[in-house]
């Protein structure tokens, strides 16, 4: 039994319930859904949500209104569905998606530790393990729905997600080479003098594209292609279950934006903001960079059509994997010159 | 695996396709039509000639109503031996070409959404409003105009229409360039559209494809040039043709045709003659028959009209372009990825109402 002091218990509750625990991804999802709708509406010369919410003509509370509407709806389970797995899959999806924030450090603490729910020196591997679980939930949901569109969508999801995990792992290899650690907080510390986006631009592009494919954001939203498969693997879900699937998507987006910030944009690194404690300013810098990454990921939906599954797999296997390998080679060859620049160590 | 796509599906409209699917590959497509059959040919036998106008218009109302009605009016006027006043003819051409622009913009929006490109959908639908507003000034309606009537058109051109039309068409001309940058030159859009659903010229002729789809395959055929009706022989325009006959050409075809239509409307509003815009037309049509064809936005629309000397037609046979083009869909959808089916279907510009009548 580990003895915890009162301050530690308060800190743990703060971490688990508010930031970066339960409340933060939920708030992120609400804000991003609203922002995405408003932002895309501007690109498309529309207005977007308008009436719901406190401020005039912003529609700020529209996602919450939508969520309330969704949980009021009846949950319809198809007659031929494999009911246990069918009902379990959305809960699992949301759970697994919200797991990854537990391992992401968001700021350094004044006492030398990190603001992270569960600290482990191998957090990178844990995150990768969590990401590997996602395609199986999708396949399970698609198969359990016992509907043709869902099955095709699930197969596409499996092909796409499994194919794009390889370039992610390969690019992360070059990051691990540079930072000499599997510890996410150490990866950030090692960027104290120069961000990895400068040292590894190829790796950054590969990760950004692969992560977009992992998230099924356009132009890679092939598993849920509306015009072909209605809604892909979650087609049959209604009400709360659909809300869970939607929220899990944005939880994943939150995790991915945090990870890209952390791997390439120096995490909480940034000039100290006056009159604000260093930990808080670290969090602010982290969130700012996260916001930029999120906007870039969202923008794909406004400016690109969707790719076809064979084109996507082609791009994954023949372009991104070789690029990631080249990045590893470049990193290995040039590491001796860059390593003195890399902090932490 | 048999996959039943539609009639409740985001892309198929009122169609149902029965697909033979092997994983992600479509082996065979079987169109199942008839969900919007209204028996317009039979309805036309029960109504008088002027009463038929709104009915015929409903063959293809929300896209190209003027283009659809012109053929019927031509047939009736041929049996009557009625000559429409010059101004009426010009106004008909203006309405038909504006409608063609609206219809092609609608097509572009659907073509974009078939690839999941929502921005283009919104942009083109937005700009279609400009044309619809213009039509509202001309005819008082936005979608179903019943603007051309026997012996001319319903209303004269309102004051200030010419200036407004020129202004809006100038803007539309600029927007076309935006569409080129946004879609036609977009690399991802090209990847999805190029080499998808290639219709060879020989196949297109053999299958009897009409309209922009035929021209996209490289065959120069347009009723407006081949057999000019109304006053189309007085305008200076060209017939664009495609090279490869793929979906990309079919989309590019519409963009080029919008440019040509803009030029025709510009010429028409500039040299429209003064005078009467309609003429009294008799209620009773003599015995006789006529076959006319017009180039509607989707292609050649054929009408066969038999009059028996009464106030109602004895028989009216419609040969709509979407019905003729439908045959290309199963032809092109053999052994294609599932993702290509919406693109092929949309770029053929098939309207279920038009197919079923």
Residue A345's pLDDT band (boundaries 50, 70, 90)?
Answer: very low
Interatomic CA distance for residues B81 and B288, integer angstroms:
10
Strand residues in chain B grouped as ranges (E): 2-5, 16-22, 25-32, 148-149, 152-153, 287-296, 299-308, 313-319, 336-337
Give the max Cα distance, chain A.
Answer: 63
* Cα nearest neighbour of B192 on chain A: A307
- Segment A66-111, tens digit of pLDDT: 889 988 988 888 888 888 989 899 999 888 888 888 888 888 887 7
Block residue for tokens 């389970």:
A77
A307 neighbourhood in chain B, CB within 8 Å:
188, 191-192
Block residue for tokens 């709509």:
B320
**How much is the pLDDT for A267?**
81
The answer, for A158 touching chain B at a CB cutoff of 8 Å, is no
**How much is the pLDDT for A218?**
81
**Spans of chain B below 50 pLDDT:** none
Across chain A, mean pLDDT equals 85
Nearest to A45 among B10, B123, B340 (CB): B123
Which of B313, B24, B225 lies closest to A153, judged by CA?
A: B24
**How much is the pLDDT for B4?**
84
CB within 8 Å: A301 and B341: no
Nearest to A44 among B11, B123, B191 (CB): B123
The sign of the dihedral angle between the CA atoms of B258, B263, B264, B266 is positive
**Domain B36-332, CATH 1.10.645.10 — does that match?**
yes
**What would the two tokens of residue A329 be?**
């080679």
The helix/strand/coil state of B343 is helix
To the nearest 5 percent, what fractions of chain A are helix, strand and coil? 70, 0, 30
Which of B12, B118, B195, B341 is most worth mutating to test chain A (most A CB atoms within 10 A of its CB)? B118
A315 neighbourhood in chain B, CB within 8 Å:
none
- Segment A97-149, tens digit of pLDDT: 888 888 888 888 877 778 888 888 888 899 888 888 888 888 888 888 888 88
Residue A269 burial class via C-beta count within 10 angstroms: exposed 0-12, middle 13-18, buried 19 and up = buried
Interatomic CA distance for residues B60 and B357, integer angstroms:
8
> What is the complex's ipTM, to 2 decimals?
0.81
Interatomic CA distance for residues B299 and B212, integer angstroms:
6
CB within 8 Å: B115 and A230: no
**How much is the pLDDT for A295?**
92
Q: What is the mean pLDDT of residues A160-182?
A: 87
The answer, for B29 touching chain A at a CB cutoff of 8 Å, is no
CB within 8 Å: B116 and A306: yes
The answer, for A311 touching chain B at a CB cutoff of 8 Å, is yes
**How much is the pLDDT for A344?**
52
Nearest to B117 among A152, A305, A309 (CB): A305
* Cα nearest neighbour of B11 on chain A: A227
The answer, for B126 touching chain A at a CB cutoff of 8 Å, is yes
Interatomic CA distance for residues B96 and B135, integer angstroms:
10
A309 neighbourhood in chain B, CB within 8 Å:
24, 337, 339
The answer, for B210 touching chain A at a CB cutoff of 8 Å, is no
How many CB atoms lie under 10 A from the CB of residue A173?
17
State the smallest CA–CA distance between residue A228 and chain B in angstroms.
Answer: 6
Which of B27, B30, B8, B26 lies closest to B17, judged by CA?
A: B30
State the smallest CA–CA distance between residue B189 and chain A in angstroms.
Answer: 6
State the smallest CA–CA distance between residue A101 and chain B in angstroms.
Answer: 31
Which of B24, B120, B121, B181 is most worth mutating to test chain A (most A CB atoms within 10 A of its CB)? B24
The answer, for B181 touching chain A at a CB cutoff of 8 Å, is no
Higher-confidence position of A69 and A52: A69
**Helix B247-270 vs helix B161-179: angle between axes, to the nearest 10 degrees?**
160
- Segment A223-273, tens digit of pLDDT: 887 777 788 888 888 888 888 888 888 988 998 999 999 888 888 887 877
The answer, for B107 touching chain A at a CB cutoff of 8 Å, is no
B11 neighbourhood in chain A, CB within 8 Å:
226-228
State the smallest CA–CA distance between residue B254 and chain A in angstroms.
Answer: 19
Residue A292's pLDDT band (boundaries 50, 70, 90)?
Answer: very high
């Amino acid at each position: 039994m580990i003895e915890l002091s009162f301050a530690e218990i308060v800190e743990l509750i703060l971490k688990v319930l508010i930031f970066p625990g339960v409340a933060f991804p939920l708030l992120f999802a609400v804000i991003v859904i609203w922002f995405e709708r408003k932002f895309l509406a501007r690109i498309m010369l529309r207005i977007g949500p308008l009436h719901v919410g406190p401020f005039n003509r912003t529609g700020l509370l529209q996602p919450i209104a939508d969520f309330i509407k969704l949980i009021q709806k009846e949950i319809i389970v198809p007659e031929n569905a494999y009911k246990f797995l069918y009902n379990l899959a959305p809960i699992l999806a949301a759970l697994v998606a919200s797991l990854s924030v537990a391992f992401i450090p968001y700021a350094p603490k004044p006492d030398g530790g990190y603001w992270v729910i569960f600290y482990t020196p191998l957090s990178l591997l844990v995150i990768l393990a969590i990401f590997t679980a996602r395609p199986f939930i999708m396949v399970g949901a698609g198969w359990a729905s016992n509907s043709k569109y869902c099955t095709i969508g699930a197969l596409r999801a499996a092909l796409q997600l499994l194919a794009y995990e390889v370039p992610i792992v390969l690019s992360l290899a070059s990051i691990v080479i540079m930072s000499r650690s599997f510890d996410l907080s150490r990866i950030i510390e090692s960027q104290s003098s120069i961000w990895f986006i400068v040292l590894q631009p190829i790796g950054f592009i590969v990760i950004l594209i692969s992560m977009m494919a992992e998230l099924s954001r356009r132009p890679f939203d092939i598993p849920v292609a509306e015009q072909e498969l209605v809604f892909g693997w979650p087609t049959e879900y209604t009400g709360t279950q659909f809300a869970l699937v939607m929220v899990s998507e944005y939880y994943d987006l939150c995790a991915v934006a945090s990870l890209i910030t952390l791997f390439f944009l120096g995490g909480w690194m940034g000039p100290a903001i006056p009159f604000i404690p260093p930990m808080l300013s670290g969090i602010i810098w982290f969130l700012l960079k996260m916001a930029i990454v999120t906007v870039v990921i969202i923008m794909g939906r406004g400016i690109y059509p969707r790719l076809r599954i064979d084109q996507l797999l082609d791009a994954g296997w023949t372009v991104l994997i070789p690029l990631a390998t080249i990045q590893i080679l470049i990193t290995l060859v040039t590491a001796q010159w860059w390593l003195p620049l890399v902090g932490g160590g | 695996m048999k996959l039943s796509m539609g009639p409740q599906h985001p892309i198929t409209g009122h169609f149902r396709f029965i697909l033979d699917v092997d994983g992600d590959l479509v082996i065979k497509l079987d169109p199942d039509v008839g969900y919007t059959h209204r028996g317009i040919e039979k309805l036309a036998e029960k109504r008088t000639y002027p009463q038929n106008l709104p009915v015929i218009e409903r063959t293809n109302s929300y896209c190209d109503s003027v283009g659809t009605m012109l053929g019927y009016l031509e047939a009736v006027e041929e049996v009557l031996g009625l000559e429409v006043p010059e101004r009426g003819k010009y106004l008909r051409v203006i309405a038909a070409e504006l409608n063609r622009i609206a219809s092609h913009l609608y097509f572009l929006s659907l073509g974009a959404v078939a690839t999941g490109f929502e921005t283009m959908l919104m942009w083109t639908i937005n700009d279609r409003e400009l044309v619809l507003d213009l039509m509202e000034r001309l005819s008082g309606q936005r979608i179903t105009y019943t603007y051309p009537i026997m012996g001319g058109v319903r209303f004269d051109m309102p004051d200030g229409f010419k200036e407004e039309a020129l202004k809006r068409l100038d803007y539309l001309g600029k927007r076309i360039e935006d569409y080129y940058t946004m879609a036609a030159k977009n690399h991802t859009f090209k990847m999805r559209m190029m080499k998808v659903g290639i219709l060879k010229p020989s196949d297109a002729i053999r299958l009897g494809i009409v309209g922009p789809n035929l021209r996209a395959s490289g065959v120069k055929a347009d009723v407006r040039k081949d057999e000019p009706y109304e006053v189309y022989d007085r305008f200076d325009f060209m017939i664009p043709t495609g090279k490869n006959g793929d979906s990309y050409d079919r989309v590019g075809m519409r963009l080029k045709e919008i440019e040509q239509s803009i030029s025709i409307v510009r010429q028409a509003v500039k040299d429209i003659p003064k005078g009467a815009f309609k003429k009294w037309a008799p209620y009773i049509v003599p015995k006789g028959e006529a076959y006319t064809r017009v180039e509607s936005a989707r292609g050649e629309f054929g009408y066969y009209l038999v009059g028996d000397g009464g106030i109602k037609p004895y028989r009216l046979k419609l040969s709509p372009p979407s019905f003729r083009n439908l045959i290309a869909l199963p032809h092109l959808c053999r052994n294609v990825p599932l993702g290509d089916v919406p693109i092929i279907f949309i770029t053929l510009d098939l309207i279920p109402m038009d197919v079923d009548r």
